[in-house]
Amino acid sequence: MPTPHHNLTIGVFDSGFGGLTVLHDLLPLISYANYIYLGDTARLPYGSKSRATIVRYALSSARFLLAQGADLLVIACNTATALALEEIRADLPIPVIGVIQPGAQAAANTTNPPKNRVPHLRDSLTVAKVGEPPQISTEPPHVIVLATTATIQSHAYAQALKALGLEATEKACPLLVPLVEEGWTNHPVTAEVLRIYLSEALATTPHATTLLLGCTHYPLIRPLIQSTLETLGHPLQIIDSAYATAQATAALITTQLPNLPQSPHPTQTFYATDSVEKFQRLGSSFLGQPLNQVHLIDLGG
């Protein structure tokens, strides 16, 4: 429970460094909060593990941030959100927000077909016959979701998008996280892997309008994703959930924690379950600024 002098403290959790892309968008939007970030780097990746293991890891990470004084938890990990959001909400006595609902909502907010794309018969806006007004199709906009294997197998994104009236094609991209972790964000191997994944997804969904990046690591290769889509002749609208999650977090603070004092001297404290040096080195590229105050902790296996 917060002490009388306790200032708003936001816990942010990811399986590793990727959630720093969410923190990157939280910091300017909610600049008056203290942040505690946990990267469960010793147990990363979550995306290739079973539901039971992901729930166990995610719960212990969430409980750690609660014990450090978090008033609100942001699960900045798509896989943990997809597999463990309900369990964490049931376990923690504080508001908990994940990245999937805000990401799906962001995709729903941008349903216009992208410019410069060769029209497809199933596009929402079909070509009118001479003398007739343009026909608006009743077909729902179609989103391609790229994510880890565990996220895709959970169908959490497809369900969230369906609830908003959008169809989804889900594509597991298990090779992308290790490539980004390796720092190969603009590397020919990553470009070729992306070309294969995107070609396969587009082959089944040539009428897609939007590409949803359903993994924390993918914003780091967004320029490569964009150029690959252009090369393939499908410059889809690209959405990631980081900014939408930051906005949803700000709204949640207004409605559920309106009376917590803002921090006069906001702090950022980082915890990692594996090498502090690696967390600082890789994490700074995710956050876009140097990481000070990284502490090593042991959450067990």
Residues recognised as catalytic: 77, 215
Query: Residue 8 or residue 80: which is nearer to ligand DGL going by CB?
Result: 80
Which residues in the 195-234 window bind ligand DGL by CB under 6 A? Answer: 215-217
Contact between 154 and ligand DGL per CB under 6 A: no
Contact between 170 and ligand DGL per CB under 6 A: no
Which residues in the 36-95 window bind ligand DGL by CB under 6 A? Answer: 44-47, 77-79
Among 8, 65, 166, 177, binds ligand DGL (CB under 6 A): 177
Contact between 148 and ligand DGL per CB under 6 A: yes
Q: Rounded to the nearest whole angstrom, what is the least distance from the CB of residue 20 to ligand DGL in the complex?
A: 10
Write the DSSP assignment of the chain as a string of letters: ---TTPPPEEEEEESSSTTHHHHHHHHHHTTTSEEEEEE-TTT---TTS-HHHHHHHHHHHHHHHHHTT-SEEEE--HHHHHHHHHHHHHH-SS-EE-SHHHHHHHHHH--SPPTTPPP-TT-SEEPPPTTSPPEEP-SPPEEEEEE-HHHHHHTHHHHHHHHTT-EEEEEE-TTHHHHHHTT-TT-HHHHHHHHHHHHHHHHH-TT--EEEE-STTGGGGHHHHHHHHHHTT---EEEEHHHHHHHHHHHHHHHH-TTSPPPSS--EEEEESS-HHHHHHHHHHHHTS----EEE-----
Residue number of the CB closest to ligand DGL reads: 47
Near ligand DGL by CB under 6 A, which window of 9-17, 117-125, 266-274, 276-284?
A: 9-17
Which residues in the 258-277 window bind ligand DGL by CB under 6 A? Answer: none
Q: Rounded to the nearest whole angstrom, what is the least distance from the CB of residue 77 to ligand DGL in the complex?
A: 4
| Site size with ligand DGL, rule: CB under 6 A | 17
Contact between 14 and ligand DGL per CB under 6 A: yes
Query: Residue 120 or residue 222: which is nearer to ligand DGL going by CB?
Result: 222
Chain residues in the site for ligand DGL (CB under 6 A): 14-16, 18, 44-47, 77-79, 148, 151, 177, 215-217
